[in-house]
Structure 1
Amino acid sequence: MFVWNWGRVLLLFLLICSVELHESLWPLPEHYSSGDHALSVDPALKLSVAGNAAASPILIAAFDRYRRIVFKHSTYGFSFIRKLSERFLSAFDLDTFNITLLSDNDQLQLGLDESYTLLVPHPNHSSQLLIQANTVYGALRGLETFSQLCSFDYTTKTVKIYKAPWSIQDKPRFAYRGLLLDTSRHYLPVNVIKQIIESMSYAKLNVLHWHIIDEQSFPLEVPTYPNLWKGSYSKWERYTVEDAYEVVNFAKMRGINVMAEVDVPGHAESWGTGYPDLWPSPYCREPLDVSKNFTFDVISGILTDMRKIFPFELFHLGGDEVNTDCWSSTSHIKEWLQNHNMTTRDAYQYFVLKAQEIAVSKNWSPVNWEETFNTFPSKLHPKTIVHNWLGPGVCPKVVAKGFRCIYSNQGVWYLDHLDVPWDQVYTAEPLQGIHTSSQQELVIGGEVCMWGETADTSNVQQTIWPRAAAAAERLWSPRDSTSQNITLTVLPRLQNFRCLLNRRGVPAAPVTNYYARRAPIGPGSCYEQ
C-alpha cells in the first residue's frame, strides 16, 4: 500500500516555492528586479554588437555557444528556424540581442572588469534584449545569466523568459575565483580539462589553477629540457606544448585565466627521472638539490618555456610540505650547507626566494603556499601572493603584513575531502577575521582544490560539482545576500543549478548525499537530490 511521506512532500513544496521566489539564478546577481510577464524568445535570435569591440571573436563565439544551449530542443537547423521566424515575425516576443561593449581590450588578467547590465524588456516596450558591459568578459557573464533565465516550455515547445521585465546589474565580489585541477596524481585528457573549463564558466569561476606536475608524474613537454616528461606515467599520458596552448586559448574564450604551478623544492621527485642530477641522491630524491646551479637552470628553463604559453600574471611556485631530511643526510649537500653557513631551514628559504626571483624576472607575480609565509614572512618578495590551505586564520595574518592572500582552507574547500557537505562549502568566508577595508582588499579571492589522488577521468567532474558551485557563489555574490536561511533559500537554487549542469552534459553529483560524488540512492527528481 502506498503511504504519503507528508514531511517530504512539504519540504519539496517549500523548496519549489523558494526556487520560484529566488529566481533560480546561480550565482545570485548583485542587484536585480523582475516583473510578472512571460516572454517567448525567437530561436533565430539575432546578435547586434555596438561599441568599441563590435567584431569581437570572443563575443561572437560565446553568443553561438549560448544560443545552442538555450535552443537545444530545436529539432531543425538554425537556417530553417530563421526562415520560419521571418515568415511569422509576430510569433516571438524577443528577436534581437543588443550587446554594447565599451572597451575593445580583451586582455585577460587579474582584476579585469567583469561587470554587466542585463535588461529583458517589458513586452509592450521592445523586442530586444540588452547587455552593456565594459569588457567582453563582462558580456560573457551576462550571457550566462541570460541563459539561466531561459526555460523551455514543453507545452508550447518554445523558449520563454518568465517574470519579465528583468533588470540586472551585476559584478563579482572577488577578482580571483579559482578551481585547482591536479593532473599529476592522475592524468586527465585535454578534452576532459576543456569540459571542466566549460563548466567553470557556468558558475562564473575565472581561474583554472593547473597543478600540472608533482612528485608522481611530470606530464608536460618542456622544450628546453626535453627529458623532463620522461617522468610521466607513460608515453600516452603527456601534454605537448600545443596541448597547453589549446587549454589556455579555450579558457580565454570563456573568460578564464590559467595559472600554472611548478611546485618547488618539494613535490618534485618526478623531475629526476629525466635528469637524475636534480635528486640529492639516487636513494633520497626530494626536495630538489639546493646545492647545484643546475637545479635553478632547469627551473629557469621551465619558466622561460611556460611564459610563452601562460600569459596570466600569476604563477604558482608551490613551496609546501618540504621535508629537508635528504638535504641533511646527503654528503655533498651537507657540505654545501656548512660552506654557506646554512641550516636546512635557511636553505628552504634560499630555494624559495631564488625561485621567486626567477619568476619575477619573467614578469610574474609569485604565488606560494602558506608554509613559506609561516616560516619566513619578512623575506618573501613584496609581490608574493600567499595561498592559504592549512586552515582558517592565515589570511588575516597575511594581509596584516601587507601581502595578498588566496583563501583555500582545506577543511571546507578541498573537494577531495568527500565528507564536507555543500553547506559547509557555502558558508566558508574568505574575509573571516579581517575587519578593515584596506586589508580586506588584499584578499583577492579564493579557490576550491580538486586534488587528484582519488579522482581521474571517471569521477573528477562528479567530485567537483556541485560543491564547487557553492564556493563560486560565495566568491561572486554580495556577502549579505549569501547569508540567509540557506536550507530554504540557497539549497533549492543549488539543486536547480545541479540540474542545469546535468542538462548541459556535466555529470554533477547529487547535492545532499553525505559523501560527495556518490550516485543517487534511488529513483527521484534531480531537484530533490
Structure 2
Amino acid sequence: MKSYILLLFTICTFQLYSSAELDDSLTYVWPLPAKFSSGNNTLSVDPELSLVLGGKGGDSSIIKDGFDRYKKIIFKHSSKSYSVNKRLVFDIGILKIAVLSDNDELQLGVDESYLLLVEKRNGQSIIGEAYIEANTVYGALRGLETFSQLCAFDYETKAVQIYKAPWYILDKPRFAFRGLLLDTSRHYLPVGVIKQIIESMSYAKLNVLHWHIIDEESFPLEVPSYPNLWKGSYTKWERYTVEDAYEIVNFAKMRGINVMAEIDIPGHAESWGTGYPDLWPSPSCREPLDVAKNFTFDVISGIMTDLRKIFPFGLFHLGGDEVNTDCWNSTSHVKQWLLDHNMTTRDAYQYFVLRAQEIAISKGWTPVNWEETFNTFASNLNPRTIVHNWLGGGVCAKAVAKGFRCIFSNQGFWYLDHLDVPWYEVYKAEPLEGINDTSMQELVLGGEVCMWAERADTSVVQQTIWPRAAAAAERLWSNRETISSGNITLTALPRLHYFRCLLNRRGVQAAPVTNYYARQPPSGPGSCYEQ
C-alpha cells in the first residue's frame, strides 16, 4: 500500500512540474529564512565583487575565507565569460559584512542570526552593494550562504543576476543543534570525502557533524595514549591520524560546523579488543566491554583525554545503545564480580554508563547517550545527560518531562540508510511533536539525520545523504508554522528540486528527490528540476 501511494504521489508530482518551469511565487532559498521580503527588480553582480569588512569581528579569517569560497561558487561560470562579455556597470559591486563580536568560539547555541540587504544602488552611490550584518562570524557565514543562493547565472547575458530584488532578510535558526551523523566504522571514508560532506552540510545550514568514528567492526582512529587500539582498523590504510582529526575539526569550524565525537560503549566495541584483548571479557565474549576490570575504564579515560585535545565541542557522545549483557553472566570472572557487588547484568550496564559519564564530565564534556540509557534507568542518569532519541516517537516528550535535554533522530524518518523513507516524511517529522509546554520545548536542542554506513561507502554516501538531509535541515532551521502550512507538494517540493540541482551544480552528488528508493539514479531522461 505504501509503495502504491508513493508511486501515485510521484506521478502527480511529475504531471504538476513536467514543464520544469519555476513557480515565481516561491522563494528559492533553502532552508527558508525566518523573515524576508522581496521585490520585482533584477540586479547584476560584478564578477570582481569586492569585500568590505566592518565591526569588531570583521577581520576574521573565517569571514575572508568564506567570502573567497562563495565567490568561486557564485562566479563559476561568469568569471570565464567576463572577458568576452565585459560590462562597464554592475548593480552590485561590493559585499559589505559587519560582524559585531570578535569572539569566534564555536559551541552549541552560538548566535547564527544575520541580516541581509540587497538593493539597487541609488543615485548617490557610484558602486552598489549588498550588506550582511551578524553578531558572530557564524551568523555571517549563514548570510553568505543565503546571498550565494540569491545569485544565479544567466546563460543569455552570461552574467550573475539577483532576481526579485530588493531583498530584506532577517534570519535565525529555530534549533541550536542541526546535525548529521557520519559512520566511519562500518565503512571507512577518506578525509577528503568527509570534508566534501562537511562542505555540503554548510549549504543546508547544518551545524553539527556527529562523527561516529568507532564501532564493533573497526577502530580507525589513532589514540596516542593506547597506540594499539587502531589495530582494530580494517587495514593499515583505513585509519585516521590525530592530524587527520584536527584537520577535519578545523575544516568544519571554518564553515561554522561543530564536530561531536562518539565512542559507543559498552556495546558496539568489539574492535577495541583487537589491540587490547584484555578489554574483552573472554575470547568468546567480545562485547560489551569488560565491566569488571579497572583497565577498561583506564582505557576509556585515556581515549577521552586524547580526544579532548582534538574536539573542543562541549558535547561528547557515549553511545550506550543495543547492549546485550548475556555473556557477562556466562564469563566466570565477570559473574563473580557481579556477585561480589550484588549486581545484576542490568545493574552493571547502568554502572558502566554512569561511570563513563563521570569520566566525560571530568574532562569538561556534557554526555550524550542513546535513548536506551534513559529508557532503562532514567532516574539514575546524570541530570546533565542529553538523551538522543532514535527508536521511535514520543521519547523526547518523556525525556523533557523529566528535565533532560533531547536530540530527535526518530529512525522511522531521519535514518538515511532507510532508503524507502520518502522526502516528505523526512520533511514533516517534527522534533516537538507531543510537547506543548514552552519550557519543555526549549529542552529539545534540535535533531540530526543519521547516515549509518553498513551499506554505504564513498561510492554512494553523498547521494544517500542528499537531498533528504536537506528536508530535515529546513525543518530544523525554518519557522514551524511557515513550512507546515499548505500543500508541501506545491510549497516545498519545487524548492527542494531546486536545491538538489544547486547541490549538483556545486559538485554534490545529490540523488533525485522523488525516487521510490533513495540514491537511485533517474528512471529516464528529464530535467533535474522535476526528478
Q: TM-score, normalised by structure 1?
A: 0.96
Match for residue 69 of structure 2 among 65, 71, 82: 65
Give the structure 1 partner of residue 265 of structure 2: 264
SS at match of 2:450: strand
CA distance in 2, matches of 1:76, 1:451: 40
Give the structure 1 partner of residue 145 of structure 2: 144
Change (3 A) 1:10 1:347: closer
Cα displacement (A) at 1:7: 7.6
Match for residue 497 of structure 1 among 493, 499, 504: 499
Cα displacement (A) at 1:9: 7.8
Give the structure 1 partner of residue 172 of structure 2: 171
Give the structure 2 partner of residue 26 of structure 1: 30
SS at match of 1:106: coil
CA RMSD in angstroms, aligned pairs only:
1.6
Give the structure 1 partner of residue 45 of structure 2: 41
SS at match of 2:449: strand
Change (3 A) 1:9 1:278: closer
Tell me, yes or no, if the aligned pair for 1:39 and 1:123 is still in contact at 8 Å.
Answer: no
**Pairing 1:329-368 to 2, within 5 Å after superposition:** 329-368=330-369
Tell me, yes or no, if the aligned pair for 1:182 and 1:450 is still in contact at 8 Å.
Answer: yes
**Pairing 1:459-498 to 2, within 5 Å after superposition:** 459-483=460-484, 484-498=486-500
Deviations 1:226-266 (A, max 9, x none): 00000000000000000000000000000000000000000
CA distance in 2, matches of 1:58, 1:370: 36
Task: For 1:292, give the aligned amino acid.
Answer: K
CA distance in 2, matches of 1:123, 1:368: 53
Matched, 1:94 2:92: yes
CA distance in 2, matches of 1:320, 1:444: 20
CA distance in 1, matches of 2:149, 2:444: 29
CA distance in 2, matches of 1:71, 1:305: 42
Identity over aligned pairs, percent: 74
Cα displacement (A) at 1:418: 0.3
Tell me, yes or no, if the aligned pair for 2:118 and 2:168 is still in contact at 8 Å.
Answer: yes
SS at match of 2:16: helix
Tell me, yes or no, if the aligned pair for 1:27 and 1:476 is still in contact at 8 Å.
Answer: yes
Deviations 1:139-185 (A, max 9, x none): 00000000000010111100000111000000000000000000000
Cα displacement (A) at 1:77: 10
Cα displacement (A) at 1:455: 0.2
Tell me, yes or no, if the aligned pair for 2:81 and 2:158 is still in contact at 8 Å.
Answer: no
Deviations 1:56-103 (A, max 9, x none): 00000000000000000135499x89xx97xx6x52110001111010
Tell me, yes or no, if the aligned pair for 2:78 and 2:153 is still in contact at 8 Å.
Answer: no
Deviations 1:26-49 (A, max 9, x none): 000000000100000000001001
Give the structure 1 partner of residue 306 of structure 2: 305
Give the structure 1 partner of residue 286 of structure 2: 285
CA distance in 1, matches of 2:410, 2:20: 30
Tell me, yes or no, if the aligned pair for 2:22 and 2:494 is still in contact at 8 Å.
Answer: no
Change (3 A) 1:486 1:9: closer
SS at match of 1:499: helix
Cα displacement (A) at 1:55: 1.5
CA distance in 1, matches of 2:15, 2:187: 43
Change (3 A) 1:443 1:72: same
Change (3 A) 1:8 1:479: closer
Tell me, yes or no, if the aligned pair for 2:396 and 2:408 is still in contact at 8 Å.
Answer: yes
Match for residue 16 of structure 2 among 6, 11, 17: 11
Give the structure 2 partner of residue 369 of structure 1: 370
Give the structure 1 partner of residue 102 of structure 2: 104
CA distance in 2, matches of 1:502, 1:255: 22
SS at match of 2:21: helix
Cα displacement (A) at 1:304: 0.2
Matched, 1:52 2:52: no
Cα displacement (A) at 1:128: 0.8
Cα displacement (A) at 1:494: 0.2
Give the structure 1 partner of residue 511 of structure 2: 509
Task: For 1:36, give the aligned amino acid.
Answer: N
Give the structure 1 partner of residue 119 of structure 2: 121
Give the structure 2 partner of residue 388 of structure 1: 389
**Tell me, which stretches of 5 or more residues in structure 1 are unaligned?**
1-5
**Pairing 1:178-193 to 2, within 5 Å after superposition:** 178-193=179-194
SS at match of 1:200: helix
CA distance in 2, matches of 1:393, 1:114: 29
Deviations 1:248-299 (A, max 9, x none): 0000000000000000000000000000000010111100000000000000
CA distance in 1, matches of 2:14, 2:406: 45
Tell me, yes or no, if the aligned pair for 2:91 and 2:120 is still in contact at 8 Å.
Answer: no
Cα displacement (A) at 1:10: 5.5
Deviations 1:206-239 (A, max 9, x none): 0000000000000000000000000000000000
CA distance in 2, matches of 1:362, 1:14: 57
Q: TM-score, normalised by structure 2?
A: 0.95
Give the structure 2 partner of residue 3 of structure 1: none
Task: For 1:11, give the aligned amino acid.
Answer: L
**Tell me, which stretches of 5 or more residues in structure 2 are unaligned?**
1-10
SS at match of 2:339: helix
SS at match of 1:16: coil
Change (3 A) 1:509 1:386: same
SS at match of 1:24: coil
CA distance in 1, matches of 2:18, 2:265: 53
Matched, 1:295 2:301: no
Change (3 A) 1:13 1:185: closer
SS at match of 2:78: coil
Task: For 2:58, give the aligned amino acid.
Answer: A
SS at match of 1:411: helix
